[in-house]
């Protein structure tokens, strides 16, 4: 397998963790734990270098408080989930599974732009990834994910894409958009297909 200690290239500085513990294999455990804590507090996932759940929750809160000014704004969210992580964990063990997630995230990051928000969802045991674009970019997300899947056939994953959902008052609702994209992804996973279903 490839070198898993590399970081995603072409990342905007605001998306970079302070430092990756994966580059400190010969440092002491205390220092690694301190770096892990700093990364988490600053909104970065320790394993992948992507934004983490804390950063996503902050984005949801920001959008909720700003919902009146987002009446005409659009967002697009993609929800991804690896299909075969349990198999990989069984073959390689937990550490091998983590390396698989890391390599997947690094490869995926390089297919997107610096200003696209990419999150690892649900913490350190998760293989779920969210991609947020603050405009109507369904076609762009479709093209990027299909290209990534075609060029990286060693990764099997399901995904759902949803253009901004709105609440009963017509306000943009990021939390509902994430939920709707998740439901689309689950439907795809259950059907064991590799295509994308879109709900706009």
Every domain of the chain and the residues it spans: 50-199
SS3 172: strand
Cα separation, 47 vs 27, whole angstroms: 16
Per-residue pLDDT tens digits for 181-195: 999 999 988 886 555
| Contact present, 4 and 102 (Cβ < 8 Å) | yes
Proportion of the chain in helix, strand, coil states, percent, rounded to 5: 45, 15, 40
Per-residue pLDDT tens digits for 13-40: 444 554 455 555 545 666 555 555 555 5
CATH number listed for the domain at residues 50-199: 3.30.70.270
Structure pTM? 0.75
């Amino acid at each position: 397998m490839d070198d898993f200690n590399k970081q995603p290239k072409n990342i905007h500085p605001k998306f970079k963790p302070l430092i990756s513990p994966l580059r400190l294999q010969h440092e002491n455990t205390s220092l690694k734990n301190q770096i892990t804590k700093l990364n988490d507090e600053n909104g970065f996932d320790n394993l992948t270098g992507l934004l983490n759940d804390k950063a996503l929750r902050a984005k949801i809160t920001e959008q909720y408080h700003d919902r009146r000014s987002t009446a005409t704004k659009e967002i697009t969210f993609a929800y991804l989930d690896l299909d075969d992580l349990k198999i990989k964990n069984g073959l390689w063990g937990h550490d091998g599974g983590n390396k698989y997630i890391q390599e997947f995230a690094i490869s995926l990051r390089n297919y997107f732009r610096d200003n696209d928000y990419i999150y690892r969802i649900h913490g350190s045991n998760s293989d779920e990834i969210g991609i947020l674009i603050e405009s109507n970019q369904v076609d762009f997300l479709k093209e990027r994910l299909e290209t990534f899947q075609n060029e990286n056939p060693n990764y099997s994953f399901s995904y759902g894409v949803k253009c901004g959902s709105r609440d009963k008052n017509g306000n943009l609702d990021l939390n509902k958009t994430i939920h709707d994209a998740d439901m689309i992804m689950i439907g795809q996973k259950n059907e064991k297909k590799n295509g994308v279903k879109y709900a706009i």
